[in-house]
Amino acid sequence: MFLTHLECSACGLKHDWSRLQNLCLSCHKPLLARVDLAKAARTLKRENLTTRERSLWRFREVLPLPGEVEPVSLGEGGTPLLSAKRFADDLDLWIKDESLNPTQSFKARGMSVAVSMAKYLGAKKLAVPSAGNAGGALAAYAARAGLEAHVFMPRDTPRANVIECRELGAHVTLIDGLITDCAAEIARRKANEEWFDISTLKEPYRVEGKKTLGYELVEQLNWTLPDAILYPTGGGTGLIGMWKAFDEMETLGWIGKKRPRMFAVQASGCAPIVRAFEAGKEMATEFPDAHTIASGLRVPKAIGDFLMLEILRESRGGAAAVDDGDMIRVGRELGAKEGLFVCPEGAACFVALNLLRRNRKISSGERVVIFNTGSGIKYLEAY
Ligand SMILES: Cc1ncc(COP(=O)(O)O)c(C=O)c1O
Ligand SMILES: [Zn+2]
């Protein structure tokens, strides 16, 4: 294993990886894993990736978990990158279809890595606040690992997510409130219950799983970067993870300095990052009365807000908010044209694409990648 330590994303304080860690012990911001990339590069080479397994564990050297330990895996990652010519024929548009992951969303990536490490480091009971898909993924990976899963979701989470969690053996608690209220309930009870809090960015390894989105994408584009990436943003783990992956790949000598313009897509009913970006703020304030059918985007306050905003600015990208009605309308249009039943979060990116083109933030001929983060099949009520 080439993981050397954990580093605070805000104050830089180093933390030991060999025990269960949540936030920075000094400033309570997210910790990020640091890997000895020079050593990792001795065995991890672009050429020999083709002969490895398809799951995200093919990038083993840049992931945590000692080499002799079996990961908790259900075959996550290795999802297709599909061209979308019929949706936009004057763009070089691609869809990374994450609905093909175990439990039908990209949350599987983060949970495979985080649950693997949590189990290795001795956790027995894992707790997560979830908009839906993270709960389903935790339930699956905890079951696979033989650990307890405790999932806290808003009462109006899509039915499919709730049923899935229960059928996978998780302890499900429905809360009258938002994901932030779920998180508060876990924070209140976790010490007594001996739960390890596996909330997004409140432990260091979900983002490591999510960073494989970046590694895979660049590999699928034959070691080039697109001009722009549109990402449906709640907690922002994928955005932060991909950005980390690009930096790591540059250090590995796999790519150059070019970065895509990163765009965070949110719902008009819950757009804290869009608001903060437009106001030129470094952090986002809690979005009042958050509501949207894209349940994964209903995150009124994210602990990684400052990291996301930094990425949007550094990449010269931006942020866009879209209406629920448009998500359904454009999701349908995309389905009929491209054959994908996307989640409303994914559909939101196609609405945002139209908006960004009208605002000249994206121009004809550019190579654009949209992340469809989950399957429409989990959102039957919304459709
Ligand atoms: C389908 C879907 N898309 C996007 C998101 C937002 O992901 P992130 O927290 O990485 O920003 C979620 C989170 O729940 C989700 O379930
Ligand atoms: Zn710190």
State pLDDT tens for residues 58-79: 999 999 999 999 999 999 999 9
Percent of the chain with pLDDT over 70: 100
- Pairing type for strands 3-8 and 31-35 reads antiparallel
The pLDDT of residue 84 is: 97
| Protein residue closest via CA to atom 6 of ligand 1 | 234
Provide the token pair at 197: 């809090």
Gap from CA of 352 to ligand 2 centroid (Å): 34
Question: What CA–CA distance (Å, rounded) separates 317 from 186?
Answer: 34
Report how far residue 20's alpha carbon sits from residue 119's, in angstroms, rounded to the nearest whole number.
10
pLDDT at residue 25, as a whole number: 98
Spatial separation of the C-alpha atoms in residues 288 and 298, rounded to whole Å:
11
Closest CA to 319 of 284, 285, 352: 352
User: Ligand 1 — pocket residues by CB below 6 A?
Assistant: 105, 107, 131-134, 200, 232-238, 296, 343, 345, 373-374
Nearest CA to ligand 1 atom 5: 296
11 Cα: distance to centroid of ligand 1 (angstroms): 26
Residue 311 near residue 240, CB atoms below 8 Å: yes
Query: Residue 107 Cα, ligand 1 centroid: separation in angstroms?
Result: 7
What integer is the mean pLDDT of 183-212? 97
Rounded (to 5) percent helix, strand, coil in the chain: 40, 20, 40
Q: pTM here? A: 0.98
Other residues' Cβ atoms within 10 Å of the Cβ of residue 250: 15
Cα 201 from Cα 299, distance rounded (Å): 13
pLDDT at 61: 97
Q: Would you state the pLDDT for residue 62?
A: 98
Residues β-bridged to residue 231: 264
Output the pLDDT for position 261. 98
Summarised one tens digit per residue, pLDDT across range 94-139 is 999 999 999 999 999 999 999 999 999 999 999 999 999 999 999 9
Spatial contact of 23 and 202, defined as CB atoms under 8 Å apart = yes
pLDDT class of 208 with cuts at 50, 70, 90? very high
Report the pLDDT averaged over residues 180-197: 97
- Atom nearest to 98 CA in ligand 1: 1
* Alpha-carbon distances of 77 from 108, 196, 198, rounded to whole Å: 8, 25, 20
How many Å apart are CA 40 and CA 62, to the nearest integer?
Answer: 7
Nearest C-alpha to atom 14 of ligand 1 is from which residue? Answer: 296
Q: How confident is the model at residue 184 (pLDDT cuts 50, 70, 90)?
A: very high
For the CA of 299, the nearest ligand: 1
pLDDT band at 156 (very low <50, low <70, confident <90, very high): very high
β-pairing, 81-83 with 318-322?
unpaired
Question: Quick one: which ligand is closest to 379's CA?
Answer: 1
| Dist CA 214 CA 217 (whole Å) | 5
Q: 68: CA distance to ligand 1 center in Å?
A: 31
List the residue whose alpha carbon is closest to atom 12 of ligand 1: 296
In this structure, the residue with its CA closest to atom 9 of ligand 1 is 235
**Mean pLDDT value of segment 257-275:** 98
pLDDT, position 152: 98
* Whole-number Å distance between alpha carbons of 300 and 291: 9
The confidence score (pLDDT) of residue 153 equals 97
The length of the chain in residues reads 383
Pocket test of ligand 1: the residue of 107, 205, 301, 307 to mutate, having most ligand atoms within 8 Å of its CB, is 107
**Nearest alpha carbon, ligand 1 atom 13:** 296
- Beta strands (DSSP E) in 66-182 are 81-83, 92-97, 125-129, 148-154, 171-175
For 322-370, write each residue's pLDDT tens digit. Answer: 999 999 999 999 999 999 999 999 999 999 999 999 999 999 999 999 9
Closest atom of ligand 1 to 131 CA is 14
For 256, counting Cβ atoms within 10 Å of its Cβ (0-12 exposed, 13-18 middle, 19+ buried), the class is: exposed
CA–centroid distance, residue 15 to ligand 2 (Å): 10
Give the angle 240-110-223 at the CA atoms, nearest 5°: 60
pLDDT of residue 130: 96
